[in-house]
Chain A
Amino acid sequence: MSDASIWLTLLVAGLVTYFWRWLGVLVGGRIDPNGPLFEWVGCVAYALLAGLTVRMIVLPIGPLQATDLGCRLLAVAAGAAALQASRGNIAAGVGAGVAVLIGLTMAGLRLWG
């Protein structure tokens, strides 16, 4: 690994990322915000993010692979319950979810596999 190649990699990563943002501005200025095309793009955006989020919970990459699927599902369920109980406080929900995952994992509980 040479020192120069990381800077070239960073430049490419920055440019290809901004490409999508640039294209979004360019295309967005030409779409009617009240039209069906706009609604469709919104559906794609939400479906993409939901796909990414659920994949990160169900089939994680990295350190979460060592945790049990049942524990992760219980943790997000606890987060959703805390969110409801606190009338939409996201921080309370996330705190509860993370605490439940750490607690169950440290207790060595395995519900799934």
Chain B
Amino acid sequence: MTTSDPVSPRAWRQGVRAGLGASGLVLFCSFLGFGSLVRGSGIGLAAGLVSSATTWALPGQIAMVELYGVGASLLVNGMAVWLTNTRLMPMVITLLPQLTGGGRVSWRHYLIAHVIAITSWAVAMREVPNVPQEQRFCWFAGFAGTLWAISVVATAVGFWLAGSLPGPVTLGLVFLNPCYFFLLFVADWRPRMRLLALLAGGVLGPVLHPVTPDWALLIAGLLGGTLAFFADRLWRRLERRHV
């Protein structure tokens, strides 16, 4: 078992360069949208920047601003953000061992976990296997750190631009996020177990949403993921039998 090299400036720079690519552009546009939402909500630029820097999980941030805007209680607001971000736990569990190569948990792991969010996770799950094990931690620190910085800057830019963008551009900015995630999954659906999980979650998510908007996502994840897990095991067993 190898532990990751604590400092590899070259890997870090490569990560930064990766962060300045397509994923950085998509996040920039997504946080432009958040910045303009902050402007409209009246909570002020400073609060918007703090939200992007300290929460850094867009769906939860949007829920926080919108619920605050309609005067929801702190408890309701906190619960909504808490539930929305449940997905972060399985994401950290699956990505972190690939970055660190196992070994003892240290403060660096708790720090890097803050920059694991949907985009950085989905791209890293695709890219990290191509990075040498001992460079992965630094690569991801550069990559996700860049995405994080871009998000904070874009929040400010979106705040200043709010209201001055034409309608179709706003529409495009909002559509960018789901379109990007969808294509990430289309480009990276192997192995079979992952494909089954994507299909199960993709069907259950929208089907459950009208029934229970609050719990749909969590149920889609747990139920869809569990179904995919057992379907894949069953499939494997049948394959073995028919060899």
| Interface positions of A (Cβ within 8 A of B) | 1, 5-10, 12-14, 16-29, 31, 33, 36, 38-60, 62-64, 66-67, 72, 75-76, 79-80, 83, 88, 90-91, 93-94, 97-99, 101-102, 105-106
Interface residue from A40, A79, A90 paired with B225 (Cβ < 8 Å): A40
Distance, CA A13 to CA B57, complexed state (A): 10
Contact B171 A93 (CB under 8 A): no
Contact B171 A64 (CB under 8 A): yes
Contact A22 B202 (CB under 8 A): no
- Which among B8-16, B129-137, B153-161, B181-189 touches the partner chain? B181-189
Contact B60 A50 (CB under 8 A): no
B150 at the A/B interface (Cβ < 8 Å)?
no
Contact A94 B22 (CB under 8 A): yes
Distance, CA A91 to CA B226, complexed state (A): 32
- Name the A residues within 8 Å of B178 (CB-CB): 53, 56-57, 60, 76
- Name the B residues within 8 Å of A98 (CB-CB): 172, 175-176, 179
Q: Determine how close the nearest CB of chain B comes to the CB of A9; give it in whole angstroms.
A: 6
Taking A43-B197, A79-B179 as contacts, is the C-beta distance between A22 and B171 under 8 angstroms?
no
- Name the B residues within 8 Å of A97 (CB-CB): 175, 179, 183
Interface residue from A39, A43, A54, A105 paired with B206 (Cβ < 8 Å): A54
B7 at the A/B interface (Cβ < 8 Å)?
no
Q: Determine how close the nearest CB of chain B comes to the CB of A35; give it in whole angstroms.
A: 11
- Name the B residues within 8 Å of A58 (CB-CB): 206
Taking A14-B55, A25-B92, A51-B205 as contacts, is the C-beta distance between A80 and B186 under 8 angstroms?
yes
B82 at the A/B interface (Cβ < 8 Å)?
yes
Q: Determine how close the nearest CB of chain B comes to the CB of A107; give it in whole angstroms.
A: 11
Contact A51 B220 (CB under 8 A): yes
Contact B181 A49 (CB under 8 A): yes
One digit per residue, 1 when the CB lies within 8 angstroms of any chain A CB and 0 when it does not, for chain B 83-111 equals 00111111111101110001011000110
Interface residue from A6, A28, A80 paired with B96 (Cβ < 8 Å): A28
Contact B51 A48 (CB under 8 A): no
Q: Determine how close the nearest CB of chain B comes to the CB of A49; give it in whole angstroms.
A: 6
Q: Determine how close the nearest CB of chain B comes to the CB of A5; give it in whole angstroms.
A: 7
Contact B114 A44 (CB under 8 A): no
Q: Determine how close the nearest CB of chain A comes to the CB of B29; give it in whole angstroms.
A: 9
B162 at the A/B interface (Cβ < 8 Å)?
no
- Name the B residues within 8 Å of A9 (CB-CB): 64, 68, 74, 77-78
A-B contact pairs, 15 of them (CB 8 A): A9-B68, A13-B60, A25-B113, A41-B90, A43-B224, A45-B91, A45-B121, A47-B198, A48-B225, A53-B181, A57-B178, A59-B210, A80-B186, A90-B180, A102-B169
